[in-house]
Amino acid sequence: MWAVWILGCLVAYLIGTFPSAPIFARAAGIDITAFGSGNPGASNIARALGWRKGVWVFVLDAAKGALAAGIGLIADGRPLGYVMAACSVVGHVFPIGRGFRGGKGVATGGGAFAVISPVVFPFLILIWLVVSRLTKVAALASILAVSALPIGVAIVGREPWEVPATIALCALVMVRHLGNMKRMVTRRENRI
């Protein structure tokens, strides 16, 4: 059993490191880490290359989390699904191939929860779309959607351990947004 978990964590981490945004940016001759917010994620790609490319990056990043969580669920149930989801987010945020400088983990974590908690996921997308449309601030939309995730998991009535596990995963994504929060307070945050 431990071998399955260890292998699962390694596989999920490597899945998470797939460089969706840098591939799109490089194809367009852009260093995405030197553009806009510098974040190699869907929102910054949308700023640099347009919303269609941003959607593609979001889908690919979400697929990383969905694939990892799905493998975990099939291999050993919900606990491994959560662990592999977390490892894919860690791989996206701290990719070994890019000097541990990756994205914020929103799309990858969202994709994982599309598989782990498919009833909650559409509401998170709705929150993100409404807030980003009204405010034009992707980071605020992401922060509010991430904050709503543990509440959604609690409402759908999963196992008691799943709420703190979700909070822990969301905390990693929130920590990655501390810089955005500071810029929002000083009204210097990049807009979509």
The per-residue pLDDT for range 156-170, each reduced to its tens digit, is 978 899 999 999 999
Tell me what pLDDT residue 177 has. 87
55 domain residue, yes or no? yes
Tell me what pLDDT residue 35 has. 85
190 domain residue, yes or no? no
Asked whether 42 and 129 are in contact (CB, 8 A), the reply is no
pLDDT above 80 for 1: no
93 vs 180, higher pLDDT:
93
Tokens read off for 56: 């593609």
Nearest C-alpha neighbor of 93 from the set 18, 192, 165, 31: 18
Q: How many distinct structural domains can be found in the chain? A: 1
Percent of the chain with pLDDT over 90: 70
Cα distance between residue 130 and residue 53, in whole Å: 20
132 domain residue, yes or no? yes
18 domain residue, yes or no? yes
Beta-carbon contacts of 156 under 8 Å, excluding residues fewer than 6 positions away, are 117, 119, 120
Tokens read off for 137: 């601030």
Over residues 134-150, the mean pLDDT reads 92
Which tens digit of pLDDT belongs to each residue from 101-122? 899 999 999 999 999 999 999 9
191 domain residue, yes or no? no
Asked whether 13 and 87 are in contact (CB, 8 A), the reply is yes
- Provide the domain limits for residue 168: 2-185
